[in-house]
Structure 1
Amino acid sequence: MALTHISGTIAELKVFCYCSLPFERIRQLQIMSRETENILDMNIKDTDTWKALNNGGWTNRRLKEGYKCDNCKRAIAIKKVTVSEFGTYRVDLEFMAKDNIRDMSLFAGRRNMVSRGINLAKGEKYKKSFYIAVTPYIPALSAKRYVDKTIYVSFTHADIVQLCDIKVLKEEVPVIWVAGDSTLTDQNAGIPYYPYGSCAGWAQTILRFAKKAAVCNLAHSGMTSNCFRDDGHYGIAKKMMKKGDFFIIQFGHNDQKRRNLQPFGGYSDNLEKYVEEVRKLGAFPVICSPISRIPAMEDGKYYSLLAPYRDACERVANKLKAPFIDLHDYTFDKWIEFGDSAKDFFIPGDITHTNEYGALLIGDFFAKEITKQSDDSFFDKKIIENSKAPVTDIASEEKTLPKEKPGFDIFGIEPPYVDIKGIPEYKDIKKAFKYCLLDPCVMYAHPYAVMPRAQLLMVMFKAFRMAGKRPYGGEFADISKYDWDAGYIQALVDEDMIDEKTIGHDKESGKKLFRPDDSLTYAEFMSFIVRFLEKNKEKRKKVTLEQSLRKAYELRILGDVSFTKDGKKIFKDTKQNVINEKYEIATETYISRAEIYMGLARFMDIAGGVESDLPSGLDIHPVH
């Protein structure tokens, strides 16, 4: 067995203690960097993602002058130990308090919480043992695997805690794998440490309860139940998974934005596939329903757009006899119970992504529920029962966050998509990315694929700097009241932006159809843009599809592109690199995604508004 032993008195120990340092010194401090065989795309080296990757999930806050630390617990110490191979390791720590300590927190890996609420008297020692999994990882903003073999340990109260000893021993134990999106991924946090202003996925908190098991959180911002597989995250788990491991599955937040991942369609199919494959590998799957956003109210009732995905999770779990943890209904009810205080459990201005308090609340619930449905071989019931209860009444002083300077613009990096390198439309896609029109968290842009009509709406509304409207009036029979797209469609209806010729009709009932899953045509796309540019609503109603195409050509929305009367391009397509495209290729009258992004970016150049704020209510992933 390989043993690494490092004494705290002789090892390199990076301590970021802001309690006693003047601001000029704080500003000069840089998060430690190192040469590595795993250099990512160098264009992301200035982002917090890169810095946190090399510092156990922590970055320096860009504090404005005049900041004074109000609490010594906000100082963070970061310790690292490099091991020789992937696998699971036992970590044994020993600390000593140099002064009285109250409410210390201990983290490992990418800021996974090991312990919290540690209270020590001056001179008192604290020992802790836990397990950690060292595996490859695909970080945010990159399409490349990062194969770091470093174990990070970090803790609060850095200036009054002495790390006496750390031992790292390779030992094979079960792994609790985590598959999901930004609501449970390992999120970065800033130093000084403010839990209220620190984004956290709930799965970052469950290592506290692991019983002789390690946690490997591969959840990733922006993931759907498709993307997690397609982008390579699941492949890491499949290759390293062994008999007796545990596999947590939670998707839905991004699936609901994809027309091919309806709750009882593609989404359910994917859940079933994960469960069946994981079982074949000898691991135990558990299905979690997606956590609820802060509920909105309509017609005097609270509602959740994720409720159908919750129901789909339960149905798949029952069908396959897999454990089901209903995080959706628990959080939906909790946020309603908390009322206006519900926002205290999310990062400021967000209704989707929890802060540390929200993550702890959900993580505790998960741990209690899973021990009711399975044996206690993965999670320790005693630790769960004796753990410090999550904070439900957050003190006002904790809500006062320091003022920070703007961070690095993540949309200033090179687009991370692996399928756009060298294509003719690269520069246009890069501009659209810079204008915040594309998701920076996924690996594929599918540049030559068709775009479903309804799937266009979210990105188009970003370009228009326009918000959706609710309640949805039920104009179209193929759009339900609580569909993700319904608010966008209602706004289009109210603003007379839908050409009557693009509306279908049900053969039996005669009811109108928006045709959300039909592929978007050039004429339909240009109609939305040209109608938006026409500020006179009466004139807007009369703009035809043919006029839209002609006007778009005059404005060079798609560059030097001409169209026939029926809306077909009259130049030869240059569709490259499409052999492996999983979706239908855009041909004839159908517009490709690359052309949509190009058109929206050029529209923004024409109409202005690039510097204006995005509309409220958009789901923005908290990557840095």
Structure 2
Amino acid sequence: MLSSILFSLACIVPGIVGQTVRLAGDSTMAQGGGGSGTDGWGQYLGQYLNIPVVNNAIAGRSARSYTDEGRFTSLISAAQRGDFVVIEFGHNDGTASPDNGRQDAVGDGYDTTATVTTSTGAQVVIHTFPFYIQNAVTALQAKGAIPIVSSQTPDNIWSGNVIGAGNRFVGYAQTAASRTGATYIDHYDYVAQAYDVLGQTTVNTYYPIDHTHTSTTGANVVAQAFVRGLLCSNSALKSHVNSAGQAVPNGCL
């Protein structure tokens, strides 16, 4: 009887039964984080949801290198109709000379490009952060998946008693989401809110090796901040937040 009911529900609402959350990002999200006892927040998201999480984040990647290495292509191929895909980059996307294979063209124009020089002297044409994110989002939408664009997490850098304001990639993420109709989670500000409440002395203990990569405790705080942002959003994923997720601290921004 139960199997018949589930089959009927799948026919009525295709794509709902068997949904998965897939994550695309860098070391701040990835398993193992930046090494040396750190971990990414994506490893802790699953305990706050009632559907499984697949963490496809890879340390050291940017929106550009995740694209160029075919990782978005693989993720898009694996995604099923109704799957949620959280995309969060920015920490590795800044300018570099010579080209490091990760930097994006400066600006938020979809058609903006730049020509950069590699360490071997080769010339490479690169695109902007929104270009790479928007292409991934629209490809996922075409498959019936549900992309969520999340801004990067803050570094442990304070301005007085509060975390400093986000960099340009926070704004670029919001722009890419707006252009594609994807849900935007201001993960930066939700983490900043949590850190401001906890205070710098406590937050300093979350960063054992540098100002970017969190300990396991810190990664869980960052995951909770994402869930809080999710609960305050219009995303259908918030209907899959379990009782533990409903209890995460702080409120809507």
TM-score (norm. length: structure 2): 0.72
- The one-letter amino acid paired with 1:279 is Q
- Do 1:295 and 1:332's aligned partners in 2 also have CA atoms closer than 8 Å? no
Give the match for residue 131 of structure 2.
269
| CA pair 250-261 structure 1, distance change in 2 beyond 3 A | farther
Separation in 1, partners of 2:162, 2:77: 46
What is the distance in 2 between the residues matched to 1:314 and 1:331?
A: 16
Q: Kindly provide the CA deviation profile for residues 13-48 of structure 1, in whole angstroms up to 9, marking residues without a partner as x.
A: xxxxxxxxxxxxxxxxxxxxxxxxxxxxxxxxxxxx
Matched letter for residue 307 of structure 1: N
C-alpha distance in 2 between matches for 1:380 and 1:322: 19
Count of matched residue positions in the alignment of Structure 1 and Structure 2: 208
Give CA deviations for 1:164-217 in whole Å, capped at 9, x if unaligned: xxxxxxxx7112111110000111799xxxxxx731111111111232x32111
Stretches of 4+ aligned residues off by more than 3 angstroms: 257-261, 300-304, 332-337
Over the aligned positions, Cα root-mean-square deviation in angstroms equals 2.9
Which of residues 350, 366, 377 in structure 1 aligns to 2:210? 350
Identical aligned residues as a percent:
22
1:302 Cα deviation after fit: 6.3
Match of 1:320 among 175, 180, 186: 180
Distance 1:276 1:340, change over 3 A: same
Residue aligning to 1:174: 19
Superimposed CA distance per residue, residues 341-369 of structure 1 (whole angstroms, 9 cap, x where no aligned partner):
321112x1310001111111111121232
Residue identity opposite 1:249 in structure 2: I
The change in CA–CA distance for 1:268 and 1:202 in structure 2 (over 3 A counts) is: same
Counterpart in 2 of 1:163?
Answer: none
User: Structure 1 residues 323 and 365 mapped into 2: Cα distance closer, same or farther (>3 Å)?
Assistant: same
Q: Where does residue 231 of structure 1 map in the other structure? A: 69
8 Å CA contact 1:294–1:332 kept in 2: the answer is no
Contact 2:162 2:192 in 1 (8 A): no
Distance 1:240 1:301 in 2: 40
| Gap runs ≥5 in structure 1 | 1-171, 191-196, 391-624
Q: Distance in 2 between matches of 1:216 and 1:177?
A: 5
2:114 equivalent to 1:254: no
| Aligned CA distance change for structure 1 residues 302 and 209 (closer, same or farther; 3 Å) | closer
Q: Does 1:210 align with 2:49?
A: yes
CA pair 237-367 structure 1, distance change in 2 beyond 3 A? same
The aligned residue for residue 119 of structure 2 is: none
Q: What is the identity, as a one-letter code, of the residue corresponding to 2:81?
A: K
Kept after mapping to 2: 8 A contact 1:345/1:358: yes
Q: 2:30 maps to what in 1?
A: 185
- State which of 277, 286, 291 in structure 1 corresponds to 2:148: 286
- AA paired with 1:205? Y
Aligned with 1:264: secondary structure? coil
Q: Give the Å deviation of 1:232.
A: 2.8
| 1:323-342 equivalence runs, <5 A | 323-337=183-197, 338-342=199-203
Deviation per CA, 1:526-583, whole angstroms, max 9, x where unpaired?
Answer: xxxxxxxxxxxxxxxxxxxxxxxxxxxxxxxxxxxxxxxxxxxxxxxxxxxxxxxxxx
Whether 1:242 and 2:102 are equivalent positions in the alignment is no
Distance 1:293 1:210 in 2: 26
For 1:454-478, what per-residue CA distance to the aligned partner results, in whole angstroms no more than 9, with x for missing partners?
A: xxxxxxxxxxxxxxxxxxxxxxxxx
Asked whether 1:384 is paired with 2:245, we answer yes
Give how far 1:235 is off.
2.6
Q: Contact 2:95–2:104 at 8 Å: present in 1 too? A: no
Residues 29 and 40 in structure 2, CA contact (< 8 A), matched pair in contact too = yes
User: Aligned-pair distance for 1:287?
Assistant: 0.7
Greater C-alpha radius of gyration: 1
Match of 2:57 among 205, 213, 219: 219
| 2:7 aligned partner | none
The 2-side partners of 1:251 and 1:285 are apart by: 14
Q: Quote how far apart the aligned CAs of 1:218 are.
A: 0.8
Deviation, 1:329, is 1.7
TM alignment of 1:491-510, pairs within 5 A: none
Deviates more, 1:246-255 or 1:232-241: 232-241
Match of 2:37 in 1: 198
**Aligned-partner residue type, residue 201 of structure 2:** D
Q: Please point out which of 165, 170, 194 is paired with 1:310.
A: 170
**Alignment TM-score, normalising by the size of structure 1:** 0.31
Secondary structure of the 2:29 match is: coil
Distance between the aligned counterparts of 1:237 and 1:253, measured in 2? 20
Query: Is the Cα contact below 8 Å between 1:295 and 1:336 reproduced in 2?
Result: no
Larger relative helix fraction: 2
Secondary structure at 1:249 match in 2: strand
Q: Quick check: 1:371–1:379 contact (8 Å CA) kept in 2?
A: no
Q: Distance in 2 between matches of 1:381 and 1:287?
A: 21
The change in CA–CA distance for 1:342 and 1:301 in structure 2 (over 3 A counts) is: closer
State the one-letter code of the partner of 1:321.
G
Q: Secondary structure at the match of 1:315?
A: helix
Asked if the contact 2:191–2:226 (Cα under 8 Å) also holds between the matched residues in 1, the reply is no
